Amino acid sequence: MGGFPILSLMLLVPLVGAIACLFLDARPARTVALVATLIDFVLGVVLWANYDIGGAQWQFTERTEIFAGFSYALGIDGIALMLIMLSVFLMPICIGAGWTSINKRVGEYMAAFLLMEMLMIGVFAAQDLFLFYIFFEAGLIPMYLIIGIWGGDNRIYASYKFFLYTLLGSVLMLIAMLWMVNETGTTDIPTLMVTDFAPAAQTWLWLAFFASFAVKMPMWPVHTWLPDAHVQAPTAGSVILAGVLLKMGGYGFIRFSLPMFPEASAQFAWLIYALSMVAVVVTSLIALVQNDMKKLIAYSSVAHMAIVTVGVFAFNTQGLEGSMIMMLSHGLVSGALFLAVGVIYDRLHTREIDRYGGLSINMPHYALFFLLFTMASIGLPGTSGFVAEFLSLAGIYQVSTWVALICTTGIILGAAYMLYLYRRVAFGEQKHADAAAMGDLTLREYLMMIPLALAVLWMGIYPESFLAPMRADIQALDARIARAAPESDSKPTPGKPQAAVHTVSEVGHGATPAAPEGVH
């Protein structure tokens, strides 16, 4: 792709679309938004197709020195590529999710979403520390407006909580960034990724970055903004929040915390494990007793994100690959689940689980899709969730069997709350006449569900497509952090293979030196 600035173009398309939407009426605004997101999706496909697996670590790089103090530098590696793909894939679906349910201030709504898309791509593509920060923080404004204007009854509380929580986390990171730049004299992320900071300084820097990413992630106990924000946000807002915004935290850990501060990461790995273990179990139990569908899925997101953090801080390739696949899979699955909630919310205008029941009778196709995504969330083999959970847990098992054990408990609890949710919504008798009268999926809803379902199955059956672009980057990262990797608690002793029970024909070779240990 030579010098063609495709990343800038991907930023420009939604920006232009957003500005156009501000001045348009409802119908044209919807069309413009859909067209802009679809163009960006096509550009994303072009990006992926032209990404040279096994080529340079940073591809499609652009650099212009138009600002003082930092540069406009873009570029992606395989990790960023996958997350950008996730964003551009989910965006048209988000626009579709608000197609009919958003009736007031449509232009502003579409503009806010397109701005979000631009900022998310910017976060993943930024190669300059401060450019990253600007994109990272700027997302607060459109998200604040999306929750506050188009949210539910308690939207104002939720919007404040979302904004102030994430802002407080991020400003400390800014100070850490300023310190790093002052120390090294560069704002270039690839350079900083191979810079060794003094271990004492790493501790503070790591904590400052942790403050930001832990809130964004969100990790227990700073996760409380998430259920509020999710419940109050419109469907598409939830999809984008769960689908992409939460990934910024995980991306931050992988891009910054691990390679820039490996020693501190190892030092705090147990903090991460502890918080993640608590999160997996506690939030799963909380999810089990929720009566609000969105809240249930929101808490399940926290639990899944805890698996991501455990995988990231497992300090091995399986863990890292698992956490990346978990982020992609969770982006698709939780997005799809929020969408599934949105479908019935649009019909009955309630998220209360008790108000539904027996939907498999009157909405069989809907029930089928919902079942697929429920299974993917649980991690059934064949869906993306299985690959993600398997790899992450395999990664952490190599470090600590106990952490793996407790995290696996969370998976079982996950099966419990998801199946329980599905049973109450889709099975059982049709208690309420209005719920029983709801029609099945419309064409628009099919168009949103089918791509998600296909992607979930694709990632579950052939994850290599998604792992291949990231493999080299994850191995490079693993090599960089290997020196600090925490010791495994398993201490496996090499087993003593039993002497082979030789068949008669082999007796003649019995004394070959090929199996010396086998000889007792």
Partner 1 sequence: MDFSHSLKLIAPEETLSIAGLVLLLVAAWAGDKAARAISIIAVAVLVGVSFLVAPALCSGAMGPDTVAFLGQYRADAFASFAKLLIYLAAATSLMIAPQFFDRFNAMRAEYPILVLFAALGMGIMVSATDLITLYIGLELNSLAAYVLAAFLRPDARSAEAGLKYFVLGALASGILLFGMSLTYGFTGTTNFAGINAAISGGLSHGALFGIVFMLAGLAFKISAVPFHMWTPDVYEGAPTPVTTFFATAPKVAALALTMRVAIDAFGSQSDAWRQIVIFASLASIVVGALGAIGQANIKRLMAYSSINNVGFMLIGLAAATMQGASAMLVYLAIYVAMSLGGFIAILMMKDGDGEPVEDIAQIAGLSRTRPGLSAALAMIMFSLAGIPPLFGFWGKFVVFQAAVEADLVALAAIGIAASVIGAFYYLKIVKVMYFDEPVDVIRGKSDWAHQFLLVVTALFISPLGYLLTKWLGGLADAAATALFLAA
Footprint on this chain of partner 1 (rule: CB under 8 A): 66-69, 105, 130, 133-135, 137-138, 140-141, 144-145, 148-149, 155-156, 159-160, 163-164, 167-168, 171-172, 174-175, 178-179, 181-182
In whole angstroms, how close is the CB of 136 to partner 1 at the nearest point? 8
Least distance (Å) between residue 176 CB and partner 1: 9
Nearer residue to partner 1 within complex by CB, 56 or 178? 178
Q: At 58, give phi and psi (nearest 5°).
A: -110, 120
Nearer CB in complex with partner 1: 195/401 = 195
Residue found under tokens 């010791």:
487
Residue 476 Cβ vs partner 1, minimum distance, rounded to whole Å? 30
> Minimum distance from CB of 257 to partner 1 (Å)?
18
Task: Give the shortest CB-105-to-partner 1 separation in angstroms.
Answer: 8
In this complex, which beta carbon is closest to partner 1, that of residue 181 or of residue 476? 181
The per-residue DSSP string of 9-57 comes to: HHHHHHHHHHHHHHTS-HHHHHHHHHHHHHHHHHHHHHHHHH--TTS-S
Q: 214-238 burial string, b = 16+ CB within 10 Å, else e?
A: bbbbbbbebbebbbbbbbbbbbbbb
Q: Tell me the DSSP string of 463-490.
A: THHHHHHHHHHHHHHHHHHGGGPPPPS-
Placement of tokens 């499609």 in the chain: 60
Q: How far apart are CA 458 and CA 456, in angstroms?
A: 6
Q: How far is CA 438 from CA 114, 346, 360, 426, 513, in A?
A: 31, 10, 11, 12, 74
Q: How far is the CB of 149 from partner 1 (least distance, A)?
A: 6
Closest distance to partner 1 from the beta carbon of 22 (Å)? 8
Of 92 and 252, nearer to partner 1 (C-beta) is 252
CB 95 to partner 1: min, Å: 21
Cβ nearer to partner 1, comparing 122 with 335: 122
Sequence-separated (6 or more) residues with CB below 8 Å from residue 250: 213, 217, 305, 308, 309, 312, 323, 327
State in angstroms the smallest separation of the CB of 143 from partner 1. 12
Q: Output 172 or 361, the one with its CB closest to partner 1.
A: 172
Distances (CA, A) of 154 to 108, 224, 233, 391, 426: 21, 14, 10, 38, 28
Structure tokens at 149: 């204007």
CB of 102 or CB of 391, closer to partner 1: 102
Residue nearer to partner 1 on the CB measure, 111 or 418: 111
Nearer to partner 1, 98 or 463 (CB): 98
Q: Which amino acid is at 439?
A: G
Cα-based distances in Å from 292 to 70, 220, 353, 372, 426:
45, 20, 6, 20, 15
Write the burial class of residue 114 (CB in 10 Å: 0-12 exposed, 13-18 middle, 19+ buried).
Answer: buried
CA distance 462 to 274: 32
**Cβ atoms of residues 406 and 277 within 8 Å:** yes
Q: Which residues contact 262 (CB under 8 A, 6 or more apart)?
A: 202, 480, 481, 483, 484
Q: Which is nearer to partner 1, 182 or 503 (CB)?
A: 182
- Considering the complex, state which of residue 167 and residue 361 has its C-beta at the smaller distance from partner 1: 167
d(CA 434, CA 437): 5
Residue 68 CB, nearest approach to partner 1 (Å): 4
- Cβ at position 208, least distance to partner 1 in Å: 8
Which is closer to partner 1, CB of 129 or CB of 470?
Answer: 129
Length of the chain: 520
Q: How far apart are CA 383 and CA 483, in angstroms?
A: 34
State in angstroms the smallest separation of the CB of 339 from partner 1: 25
Terminal-residue alpha carbon distance, the chain: 63
Nearest approach, Cβ of 201 to partner 1 (angstroms)? 10
Query: Running DSSP on this structure, what letter comes out for residue 495?
Result: P
Of 138 and 394, the one with the shorter C-beta distance to partner 1 is 138
